[in-house]
Amino acid sequence: MESALGAGIAMAEALQNQLPWLENVWLWVTFLGDPKSLFLFYFPAAYYASRRVGIAVLWISIITEWLNLVFKWLLFGDRPFWWVHESGYYSQAPAQVHQFPSSCETGPGSPSGHCMITGAALWPIMTAISSQVATRAHSRWVRVIPSLAYCTFLLAVGLSRVFLLAHFPHQVLAGLITGAVLGWLMAPRVPMERELSFYGLTSLALLLGASLIYWTLFTLGLDLSWSISLASKWCERPEWVHMDSRPFASLSRDSGAALGLGIALHSPCYAQQAHIWR
């Protein structure tokens, strides 16, 4: 296992030292692939274009981010930025890698959330654009552009995570595969018109479900804050350890977004707008 992780560090070394001019590109790509961007940018943009696709993006983001949190708790994956120091693997010849302001994620590393959550949530956008293109374009090459763009973007997100020392390549691969499978499975099953209690109960279930898993693992003697201690210990600058990368920050976002979606869809203001649109 150590040599596989070492190969991941060698890949990060190559990305950082052989292609230094791409640094800003990787930082931008990681920002665009951040699960937070799904809630802040992709969901509103998709909703503006199509209500159904917008709700699918938000719903899939909520559920896959929650699943990603649970997978991370169960898989105990190291992050490269602390593993290079903690493992002792580089005590003789230090690795030629450095950290960035967005390297110091405090959650465990496996699977990559950027790849898994963003991969799943962008699936409905990709399929919606694909079907639009298919009705207009006759060329097979034009029709594959949306799926090609989806794959290229996610591959770039994966490479950016390796470049930043946030993930090992196998964690990126696990995130990419899980994200695409979840996107494919969930996109046709997104609940569209449900009563407010459905959203309230989903919000509560996400909150209580994660808390129950956390306390069960904690009672079994597992320390789930191990990654926060390692991130704080090995991050080059304390100000790079961001509170919103903590596992419970994403849980609050998911639970709040599920309830917020229900309240918004049942608000008189929304009903009035929906009436005008019809």
Ligand X SMILES: O=P(O)(O)OC[C@H]1O[C@@H](O)[C@H](O)[C@@H](O)[C@@H]1O
As measured in angstroms, the least distance from the Cβ of 115 to ligand X is 7
Q: Nearer Cβ to ligand X, position 80 or 113?
A: 113
Which position among 8, 107, 169, 262 is part of the footprint of ligand X (CB under 6 A)?
107
| Contact flag: residue 77 with ligand X (CB under 6 A) | no
Residue 174 burial (10 A CB sphere; 0-12, 13-18, 19+): buried
Instruction: Map the footprint of ligand X across residues 126-155, applying CB under 6 A.
Output: none
* Binding flags for ligand X, 15-54, as an x/- string (CB under 6 A): -------------------xxx------------------
Is residue 124 close enough to count as binding ligand X by CB under 6 A? no
CA-closest candidate to residue 171, choices 112, 113, 119, 107 = 112
78 is an interface residue for ligand X by CB under 6 A: no
Q: In the set 16, 61, 202, 245, which binds ligand X (CB under 6 A)?
A: 245
Q: Which of 54, 80, 113, 158 binds ligand X (CB under 6 A)?
A: 113
Which residues 6+ apart lie within 8 Å of 214 measured at CB?
73, 224
With b for 16 or more beta-carbon neighbours within 10 A and e for fewer, the 151-171 pattern comes to: eebbebbbbbbbbbbbbbbbb
Identify whether the C-beta of residue 40 lies closer than 8 Å to the C-beta of residue 255.
no
Is residue 166 at the binding interface for ligand X, with CB under 6 A as the rule? Answer: yes
Does the annotation count 85 as an active-site position?
A: no
Residue 112 as a binder of ligand X (CB under 6 A): the answer is yes
Give the number of residues in contact with ligand X, rule: CB under 6 A: 14
Quick one: which segment of 91-99, 217-225, 241-249, 269-277 binds ligand X (CB under 6 A)?
241-249
Is residue 167 annotated as a catalytic residue, yes or no? Answer: yes
DSSP, residue by residue, 84-129: HHHS-TTSSS-------TTT---S--SS-HHHHHHHHHHHHHHHHH
When CB distances to ligand X are compared, the closest residue is 113
Among residues 14, 80, 30, 64, which one has the least CA distance to residue 187? 64
Q: Which of residues 247-276 bind ligand X (CB under 6 A)?
A: 249-250
Q: Of 85, 98, 114, 242, which is the active-site residue?
A: 114
Q: Which amino acid is at 92?
A: Q
Q: What span, in angstroms and rounded, lies between the C-alpha atoms of 242 and 244?
A: 5
| In the complex, minimum distance from the CB of residue 74 to ligand X, in angstroms, rounded to a whole number | 14
Q: Would you please indicate which residues are annotated as catalytic (active-site) residues? A: 114, 167
For ligand X, the binding residues (CB under 6 A) are 34-36, 105, 107, 112-114, 161, 166, 244-245, 249-250
